[in-house]
Structure 1
Amino acid sequence: MEITSFEQFELNRQLLNAVTELGYTEPTPIQQKTIPLSLENHDVLGIAQTGTGKTAAYLLPLLMKIKYPQGTNPRALILAPTRELVMQINEAVSAIGKYTGLRHLALYGGLGPKTQIEALQKGVDLLVATPGRFLDLYRLGEIVTKDIRTMVLDEADKMMDMGFMPQIRSVLEVIPTKRQNLLFSATFGGRVERLSAEFLEAPIKVEVTPQASTADMVSQVIYEVPNFRTKVNLLDYLINKDAFQRVIIFARTKSTAENIYKFLARKVVESDRIRVIHANKGQNTRINAMEAFKEGNIQVLVATDVAARGIDVAQVSHVINFDLPLIYEDYVHRIGRTGRANHTGEAITFLTMAEEYHVQKIERIIRMTIPRKPLPTEVEVMETPFDEQQAMLREIDEQRRKEDPTFLGAFHEKKAKNLPNAKDRLKAKSKLPGSKKAASQGNNGRSGAANRKTGTPVSAVKRSGSRGGRR
């Protein structure tokens, strides 16, 4: 039977009223498939791109099951990898469960546990938590797990990327074995498959889009740029030209994110219309920045991947990948910040020659070739500094070694061969990894041998230059 209305799920009136107020009219594909299975108590493995409505897909049946406040111990647990995502899910519980009276609590690190402990002691029906903080409070004796009957693991692939597997196993050891499990992930790689085998019992797999596919509502484009300075010029041009409504700029490192923020705040965007968030920023700073972004008070948010899965804003017009993530699935989550809730969005990626390797891997995951555009003529192309050029060439060498372990490194060999004389070549070789001993022998041992054999003074050997080197 085709499901076209939330009324067909036979949810209680409290949930249906909240859904109507939220403006949900027709269930999304992941909701159509997941909600009936969950209500029938099946274990579910859901593979769904972010922004497809998967949070409501597991929250609606979960809230329907626990229905009303009861006792003091939690009866359901939702685990998520980051504090930002925990906060986002907890906000969704507030919105969807506003008429149920259910008590829910977000548990995450970065702040003292006192307030969370006080809330637990008053009684709670549903916990949304990061694995680490959940275990901390459990070990303090503040969480009683015996009544937990449903467990949801959200963003399982990110859990794996962040190394949460030991904590997840620890959680599984302390909650009842007789329970319903739901696992959601945007990708379904080998590690997630192994986790699902360990975590789920006879699960029904729901896959509404191909694995790691990017949202249909997001258009993607690549600009090839030669260096960092040209990336900055292109960023300046795009933000000024297109007057982006709301844009997230993703950087690979904290230092790059800070540099982008300082440049834009100084020259491009009014300082009160831009924020930066990364792991070094305090908890309150990050929360305040995301709230201001959601409310439309700031236009530009610069972020590392710490925020890639913790922002749910319906009208993010653009995502810019200033550089590519090294965890390739994070590309999917980055661009999933736009094109949400049936709005269209654009994802723009800046690409240097050293990042070509990474984009090929990403295109294999998302099963498409991302179209490329030439740089706008108005963008000034800067000359690549020598150090940056050398760093990119070394990175390309490392990439080739990953694919072919026998590859010796064309960059280093070429550099050594092109030096003008043997003395310089010897110096270059001495700087290569593992060559210190050989260089030492070449500089000292052979010159000494030449002196002993021929009786030539050391100064003469030095003057002879390349002849000493050939000996």
Structure 2
Amino acid sequence: MSYGGRDQQYNKSNFNSRGGDFRGGRSSDRNSYNRDQQQGGFSGGGFSRSNYNQPQELVRPDWDAELPNLPAFEKNFYVEHEVVKNRSDEEISKFRKENEMTISGHDIPKPITNFDEAGFPDYVLNEVKAEGFANPTAIQCQGWPMALSGRDMVGIAATGSGKTLSYCLPGIVHINAQPLLAPGDGPIVLVLSPTRELAVQIQKECSKFGKSSRIRNTCVYGGVPKGQQIRDLSRGSEIVIATPGRLIDMLEIGKTNLKRVTYLVLDEADRMLDMGFEPQIRKIVDQIRPDRQTLMWSATWPKEVQNLARDYLNDPIQVQIGSLELAASHTITQLVEVITDFEKRDRMVKHLEVASQDKESKILVFASTKRTCDEITKYLREDGWPALAIHGDKDQRERDWVLAEFREGRSPIMVATDVAARGIDVKGINYVINYDMPGNIEDYVHRIGRTGRAGATGTAISFFTEENKSLGASLISIMREAKQTIPPELLKYDRKPRGPHPRYGGRGSYGRGRGGRGYGGGRGGRGNFRSRDNGWGNRN
């Protein structure tokens, strides 16, 4: 097999030998395609120097005319390990059943069970083992062979299940088999992300595992000046991780192009559609060559995501871990208190008193609005609690600083809007408090999923008010599936009452929020907390 545009021939046996110098496959002929077009001079979407700094409406290129001028590339790098090849269908079926895998499509590669079976070259494998991972996660066991095979694919798994590495490592292998970037070239791998925080987190993984190959990456997102991002793009980056809006800005002013993108990742696709990014996604994908490999990753599989996959994926294969029914991790203890808005602050402080007994605890508090977020933070700080806030009105520098303080434990309480509901992977979050319930049950599952990650246990506390009654039935369903204790006060909102519970306690079932008073005898004595070391030291 020959990779187009290079002065060496590489076949799959060369790749599987993993001699450690696979990057040599990207050396080669910098004249592998017509460099007089390198500055975006391709028709239908390029930018000449004369209009390079002026915003231009993006036009879908004429790909029939464009493709002959673009470098040929290879997508299929998967060589089935001998051990995997010899596994029987019965063994494969048992493994998939044990890991709750559901697959669809034809000619799907068999799953692997350990890192050595994945067929990664040594430079990738050594980076993975250096991180101390014992075994691949379920989505990685099936996702890696699928992604390496070059097929368009869909991966559906809960947050915190290892989806980022599922596409990051095959992406690095993909890059190393392509011709080197020339001046004016855009990225080879493009990852679209719904939020800045998730984009930055993805960049960290790409940096960590791409350093041995000297692969450059750039994170492109709004909320910060464009200057540094423009300089990074101009220098050339094999991987671009971007939020849709800022990437379109860069395309419209001609600071990058997507002609070289052959590996496209849509991460948290469901969240991007929830946030209204579908028009931007479609505009971006139209700028990418149609013979690319496209990988879509999502925590859920709603109709909107299915429609996007149908439009932009070619004969895809799919793996789903767990049920498509929305469910919360069973390692999370869910506590729901039916109270009034006036009781929320007192109840929050009571839970903070308990949580702070463990000096290593990190607590994530979710509020519905930016204003509430700031009000809670001010209240807690005035009361001596080490709290910081993060939300969309904070500039990126402050958001990065707050997240770093929280991650390192210097400020173990972070109050956030739903900007932190997905994509923020901070170790040691033992408690999540839903000060305000989210607008839908999907966000509830993602919020509480910030704790109890990677097999650890966690506690999620939610304050449920009469205003949240539309969430009652679905919340009860989530709790039942996870075998959680449902408070009698909440059962009145169930559409499907169970058991002999007439009227679910009537008016008295609210109990005025008294169900949790065992934490220390009520609100009194708040001032004493300032002089008491409860595991976080003196909060003055």
- For 2:138 and 2:306, locate their aligned partners in 1 and report how far apart those are by CA, in whole Å: 22
Residue 345 of structure 2 corresponds to residue 232 of structure 1: yes
Cross-structure match for 2:329: 215
Distance 2:515 2:306 in 1: 41
Among 350, 356, 365, which residue is 1:249 paired with? 365
Tell me how far apart the structure 2 counterparts of residues 56 and 217 of structure 1 sit (CA, whole Å): 22
Q: Partner of 2:516 in structure 1?
A: 376
Structure 1 residues 152 and 312, CA, compared in 2 at 3 Å: closer, same or farther?
same
One-letter code aligned to 2:258: T
Alpha-carbon distance, 1:268 to partner: 4.8
CA distance in 2, matches of 1:83, 1:152: 16
| In structure 2, distance between residues paired with 1:64 and 1:362 | 42
Write the distance in 1 (CA, Å) between the matches of 2:154 and 2:469.
33
Q: Which shifted more, 359-368 or 52-61?
A: 359-368
Counterpart-to-counterpart distance in 1, 2:246 and 2:517: 51
Q: Secondary structure at the match of 2:515?
A: coil
Query: How far 1:311 moved relative to its partner?
Result: 1.3
Give the whole-Å Cα distance in 1 for the aligned partners of 2:350 and 2:384. 9
- The residue identity in structure 2 corresponding to 1:115 is Q
Aligned to 1:197: 310
2:332 touches 2:460 (CA, 8 Å); kept in 1?
yes
Offset, 1:56: 0.6
Provide the C-alpha distance between the structure 2 equivalents of 1:136 and 1:365, rounded to a whole number of angstroms.
40
Letter in 2 for 1:336: G
**Residue in structure 2 matched with residue 334 of structure 1 by the alignment:** 447
Hey, what's the Cα distance between the residues in 2 that align with 1:366 and 1:166? 35
Where 2:516 maps in the other structure, the secondary structure is: coil
Provide the residue aligned with 1:71 in structure 2: 181
Query: Which residue pairs with 1:132 in the alignment?
Result: 245
Root-mean-square deviation (CA, aligned residues, Å) is 2.0
Alignment of 1:38 with 2:136, yes or no, is no
Task: Deviation per CA, 1:158-191: give whole Å up to 9, x if none.
Answer: 1111100000010011111111111111111121
Q: Could you list the per-position Cα deviations for residues 41-63 of structure 1 after superposition, in whole angstroms to 9, with x for gaps in the alignment? A: 11111111111111111111111
Quick check: 2:114–2:141 contact (8 Å CA) kept in 1?
no
Alignment pair present for 1:104 and 2:104: no
Moved more, 258-267 or 53-62: 258-267
Mapping 1:140-151, distance limit 5 Å: 140-151=253-264
Unaligned runs of 5+ in 1: 383-471
Which amino acid in structure 2 is aligned with residue 290 of structure 1? L
1:13 aligns with one of 122, 128, 134: 122
Q: Percent same amino acid at aligned positions?
A: 37
Residue identity matched to 2:160: G
Choose which of 263, 269, 289 in structure 2 pairs with 1:156.
269
- Closer, same or farther: CA 279–151 of 1 in aligned 2, 3 Å: same
**TM-score, reference length from structure 1:** 0.76
Quote the offset at 1:199 in angstroms. 2.1
> Could you say what secondary structure the match of 2:194 adopts?
coil
- Using the TM superposition, give the Cα deviation of residue 310 of structure 1 relative to its aligned residue in structure 2, in angstroms: 3.5
Question: Do the aligned residues in 2 keep the contact of 1:314 with 1:343 (CA within 8 Å)?
Answer: no
CA deviation string 1:18-55 (max 9, x = no partner): 11121212000000010001101111111111111111
State the structure with more CA Rg: 1
1:434 alignment counterpart? none
Q: Give the direction of change, closer, same or farther, for the CA distance of 1:365–1:172 in structure 2 (3 Å limit).
A: farther
The number of residue pairs the alignment matches comes to 378
CA distance, structure 2, for counterparts of residue 130 and residue 35 of structure 1:
24
1:263 aligns with 2:379: yes
Ranges in structure 2 where 5+ consecutive residues have no aligned partner: 1-83, 85-94, 96-111, 488-513, 524-540
Residue of structure 2 in register with 1:346 after alignment:
459
Q: Tell me the secondary structure at the aligned position of residue 318 of structure 2.
A: strand
Q: Does 1:26 align with 2:135?
A: yes
In 2, are the aligned partners of 1:34 and 1:206 still within 8 Å (CA)?
yes
1:128 shift after superposition: 0.4
Question: Aligned letter for 1:50?
Answer: T
Is residue 476–residue 486 contact of structure 2 (8 Å, CA) maintained in 1? no
Deviation digits for residues 424-464 of structure 1 (CA, Å, limit 9, x no counterpart): xxxxxxxxxxxxxxxxxxxxxxxxxxxxxxxxxxxxxxxxx
Give TM-score scaled by structure 2 length: 0.67
Pair 1:210–1:191, CA change in 2 (3 A): same
Structure with the largest fraction of helix? 1
Partner of 1:397: none
| Corresponding residue SS for 2:212 | coil
1:388-415 per-residue CA deviation (whole Å, 9 max, x = no partner) reads xxxxxxxxxxxxxxxxxxxxxxxxxxxx
Contact 2:156 2:319 in 1 (8 A): yes
Distance 1:52 1:191 in 2: 22
* CA apart distance, 1:119: 1.1
1:78 positional shift: 0.3
